[in-house]
Amino acid sequence: MGQAEAAGAGRYVSVASHDLCSRALLGTLRVIEAEGLADRITVFRRDREVLASTEPNGVARGGEGATAVVAAERLRPWTARETQTFRQAMSRAQQRVHPERISRERHLAVAQGVERAFALSEPVRRIAQVCEEPPGVDYHRLSHDEHHWIFNELITPGYLATSSPRSSPSPCT
């Protein structure tokens, strides 16, 4: 996002390219560690906390190698604070991307990426889900059976728990 702040727009990377690089990262990191291709590898958490670092002699501080730490961090759900920080940064970036400053096509591509990033940032309520087809985001919909079960098992008992059965309704007074 720093590139967008400095230049007015960031470098566009397609969703497919981003996802391919993301999937290949662990394999690449594994090779770099195994063959000693880097003097130092440092893994940062989203909040910039250092999770792991290999020393120039190849010894990993903290016991685990970078590949294992990155894999574990990817599986860790975002905290509420991380989600809030990310969404605020994305909202600021989205406000800076106006059609007047960049082409309409680029604006649409960036807007799609922003919506997709918002979907990925929801750790608990996954109402927005990433999908492969444009615009890259879909919102969760319940099936008929799911609606029926939720109404009958979760909603109705709560409303009817305090009511008492009667043989005939009493007239309103």
Burial class (CB in 10 A: 0-12, 13-18, 19+), 41: buried
On whether the CB atoms of residues 41 and 53 are closer than 8 A, the answer is yes
pLDDT score, position 59? 64
CA dihedral 129, 131, 134, 135 (to 10 degrees): 10
- Rounded to an integer, what distance in angstroms lies between the CA atom of residue 25 and that of residue 67? 9
Q: Kind and range of the H or E element at 42?
A: strand 42-44
pLDDT of residue 161: 72
> What tokens appear for 141 in the block?
């919909």
* pLDDT tens digits in sequence order for the chain, 173 residues long: 566 566 555 677 777 888 899 999 999 999 998 888 888 899 998 778 899 888 776 666 655 788 999 999 988 877 777 777 887 887 777 776 665 666 777 766 666 667 677 766 665 445 566 677 766 666 666 667 777 777 788 777 777 777 777 777 766 65
Instruction: For tokens 């016991």, name the residue.
Output: 63
Give the whole-angstrom CA distance, residue 35 versus residue 33: 6
Adjacent-strand bridge partners of 138: 129
pLDDT of residue 61: 63
Question: Measuring CA to CA, which residue among 161, 140, 157 is closest to residue 149?
Answer: 157
Three-state secondary-structure class, residue 80: helix
Q: Report the predicted TM-score, pTM, of the whole model to 2 decimal places.
A: 0.54
